Amino acid sequence: MKKIFLIFTLLVIEVFSCTTIIVTKEASEDGSIMVAMAADDEVGDQRIVYVPAKDHIKGSKRPIYPYLNNYPRYVGKGLGPAYDIKGLEATKPLGYIDEVEHTYAYFDGCYGLMNEHQLSIGESTCASYYNTDPGKDRIFDTRALSHIALERCTKAKEAILLMGKLAENYGYYGYGETLTIADKDEGWTFEISGTGMGKSAVWVAKKIPEGEVFVCPNIFRIREIDPKDSNILYSSNLFTLAKQNNWWDPKENKKLDWLKVISPGEYDHPYYSLRRIWRIFSRLNPSMNLSPWVKDAFTNEYPFSIKPLKKLSVRDVFSLLRDHYEQTPFDLTKGLAAGPFGNPYRFFGPYDHLYNESGFQEPAKLPGAWERSPSVIYTGYAYVNQIRKNLPNEIAGICWIALDNPYTSCMIPLYIGVNNLPDTIQYQTVEKFDESQLWWIFNLTANYAMLKFDYMKKDILDIQTQLEKNLFDNQKNIEQKALLLYKKNPQEAKKFLTEYTVNTAYYIKDKWWDFSKKLIAKYNDGYVNKPVQATEVGYPKWWLDKVGYQNGPTTYEKPKNDNNN
């Protein structure tokens, strides 16, 4: 039995409601391990920044910076040149830990993405009973933990043990969190929460079975903790705290159920998370005949991970993040809420709030809710990290990233062996439109498409498919050239990959900006202006009937049921 009390918190962090996926190497077409994530928080800082490798003086200290979401999420020289913003005060650290003599290069976004050894991370916020604030006894959140892991580790298990130890010793703040973590051999999920009792943290981790796919959409996925299972890790204090604080009674339940012990269930309203698990697993293996309806958030109907019917490519994984429940009973492109042109996106308003935000109290009663699909309009960026063993790290590791909403944008390859990232990705803010920045160009397309979605999506998917096909078709050629250079001089290979990555980003930017302008002209003022100018397409009949078009002013007579003067 749990003690029933409410933890008040003045959290300064904003919540990410993200989807993250791991594909193990035997579940992929080419033997890659993949870590995918849709970072669903568009109001934040959407820059993707290159953090270079560094050597440090022995005995020096590593500052631990607070979680800041809006631009700029960090200012200073400690994490690389792109974060050194003139005219802005440097971010003050919450505390310090001992530094190591050498740290690895990595890509950084709202969380760390991938380091030079291909160690990769994804993230998803989860509901926890214990949401805590930062302080002198709680200096780590999952973003800071992801940074330290990528700076110091090459293996997923090594990263988990380091992050867990730091969170226990230096304190953890924030919501419940899941990090998906993979190296060249294996993938794990790491789930962490505060305790409500001072600075410490509790955490668990579980290895993804080989040949299977794992998904976390804002709900803890690890259930029973078996101390004898070598594929499960957990904090040193887990069982002690669970017994001391009546989270778990071994007399009632022999095995500790992590989800039930630490979480009220789904992160937001019912099926906010579970529907995504159902959809992604059903797409990967329809023969499982999973039901979209379950008893409650603590259901055992959905496995921890599954074996897909066919092996997956990078594009297959991206298609999961681009899903709106098409051709299911929950299809967001259908119905009155989608409007006349099948817009799958729904906007947040004052009527929306977190179902489980109040800790140990009864969940809030909701006036209503929208289905929550993997693809949402407020995605800041999405990526699939491709991790491979058959090439040098510099060439093998790729972050395939789509800025803004992945459905209405195009993947771009960011090779981990680069010396820097393109300015069009590293320098931008969501506060001011800037056509020199790739994120804003994709964002413009996403927003304009909502005016006539089922028309414009055809144009968008055509150019998306064409550009992505060209990139994948050219991948082998680029990597062969890079490998030849690498054998002669690794630095020449890094230079080549940097030039390719930068040039590709600007090529996509120019192509998409030109496409965006054509899209605006083609669908200007509600017409379809190509091939014939100002073709009147109007609205579909079903929508006209639903909204009362037939009741419009078709006669001079006053309608009998009209009480207006």
Strand partners, 224: 257
| HEC string for 371-436 | CCCCCCCCCCEEEEEEECCCCCHHHHCEEEEEECCHHHCCCEEEECCCCCCCHHHHCCCCCCCCCC
540 within 8 A of 469, measured Cβ to Cβ:
no
- The band of 15, judged by pLDDT with boundaries at 50, 70 and 90, is very low
Q: What is the pLDDT of residue 14?
A: 44
Is it the case that residue 358 has pLDDT exceeding 60? no
- Give per-residue pLDDT as tens, 513-537: 999 999 999 999 999 999 999 999 9
Burial class of 558 by CB neighbour count within 10 A (0 to 12, 13 to 18, 19+): exposed
Is it the case that residue 10 has pLDDT exceeding 70? no
Is it the case that residue 501 has pLDDT exceeding 90? yes
Is it the case that residue 360 has pLDDT exceeding 50? yes
493 within 8 A of 485, measured Cβ to Cβ:
yes
CA dihedral 28, 33, 39, 45 (to 10 degrees): -140
Q: What is the pLDDT of residue 61?
A: 98
Q: Which of 363, 392, 157, 160 is nearest to 263 (CA)?
A: 363
Q: Which of 180, 116, 174, 176 is nearest to 146 (CA)?
A: 180
Q: Which of 239, 176, 247, 202 is nearest to 3 (CA)?
A: 247
Is it the case that residue 292 has pLDDT exceeding 70? yes
Q: Please state which of the ranges 21-35, 235-249, 307-321, 459-473 shows the lowest mean pLDDT.
A: 235-249
**Helix axes of 314-321 and 453-488: crossing angle, nearest 10 degrees:** 140
Is it the case that residue 361 has pLDDT exceeding 80? no
User: What's phi and psi for 305, nearest 5 deg?
Assistant: -155, 165
Q: Which of 341, 542, 537, 533 is nearest to 448 (CA)?
A: 341
Pairwise CA distance, residues 322 & 508, whole Å: 19
Q: What is the pLDDT of residue 246?
A: 81
Residues contacting 75, CB < 8 A, separation 6+: 83, 84, 85, 88, 89, 90, 91
Pairwise CA distance, residues 238 & 46, whole Å: 35
**Average model confidence (pLDDT) for the chain?**
93
CA dihedral 43, 44, 45, 51 (to 10 degrees): -150
- Give per-residue pLDDT as tens, 64-113: 999 998 899 999 999 989 999 999 999 999 999 999 999 999 999 999 99
Token pair in block for residue 492: 């020449």
Share of the chain above pLDDT 70, in %: 95
Is it the case that residue 2 has pLDDT exceeding 90? no
Q: What is the pLDDT of residue 12?
A: 36
Q: Please state which of the ranges 38-42, 257-261, 343-347, 496-500 shows the lowest mean pLDDT.
A: 38-42
Q: Which of 63, 68, 77, 54 is nearest to 12 (CA)?
A: 68
Q: Which of 96, 39, 11 is nearest to 385 (CA)?
A: 39
| Stated pTM of the model | 0.95
Pairwise CA distance, residues 296 & 305, whole Å: 19
CA dihedral 461, 112, 399, 17 (to 10 degrees): -20
Pairwise CA distance, residues 359 & 357, whole Å: 6
- The band of 160, judged by pLDDT with boundaries at 50, 70 and 90, is very high
Share of the chain above pLDDT 90, in %: 83
| Angle, CA of 463, 469 and 472, to the nearest 5° | 140
Q: What is the pLDDT of residue 434?
A: 95
- The band of 565, judged by pLDDT with boundaries at 50, 70 and 90, is low
Pairwise CA distance, residues 523 & 452, whole Å: 8
Burial 471-506 (b: 16+ CB within 10 A, else e): beeeeeebbeebeebbeeeeeebbbbbbebbbebbb
Token pair in block for residue 11: 């959290």
End-to-end CA distance of the chain: 63
Token pair in block for residue 536: 């009147």
The residue count for the chain = 565
User: What's phi and psi for 190, nearest 5 deg?
Assistant: -120, 120
Is it the case that residue 362 has pLDDT exceeding 80? no
Peptide bond into 392 cis (omega under 30): no
Is it the case that residue 5 has pLDDT exceeding 80? no
- Give per-residue pLDDT as tens, 403-461: 999 999 999 999 999 999 999 999 988 889 999 999 999 999 999 999 999 999 999 99
Q: Which of 249, 240, 241, 146 is nearest to 194 (CA)?
A: 241
- Give per-residue pLDDT as tens, 101-159: 999 999 999 999 999 999 999 999 999 998 889 988 999 999 999 999 999 999 999 99
Residues contacting 227, CB < 8 A, separation 6+: 234, 239
Strand partners, 383: 37, 401
**Count of Cβ atoms closer than 10 Å to residue 291 Cβ:** 11
Burial 384-393 (b: 16+ CB within 10 A, else e): bbbbbeeebb
- Give per-residue pLDDT as tens, 371-394: 999 999 999 999 999 999 999 999
465 within 8 A of 459, measured Cβ to Cβ:
no
Burial class of 451 by CB neighbour count within 10 A (0 to 12, 13 to 18, 19+): middle
Q: What is the pLDDT of residue 352?
A: 79
Is it the case that residue 13 has pLDDT exceeding 60? no
Residues contacting 225, CB < 8 A, separation 6+: 204, 232, 234, 238, 255, 256, 257, 258
Q: What is the pLDDT of residue 558?
A: 84
- The band of 4, judged by pLDDT with boundaries at 50, 70 and 90, is very low
Strands 33-39 and 381-387: antiparallel
Q: Where are the alpha helices (DSSP H) in 179-297?
A: 238-244, 258-262, 274-284
Q: Which of 49, 50, 77, 84 is nearest to 63 (CA)?
A: 77
The identity of residue 234, as a single letter, is: Y
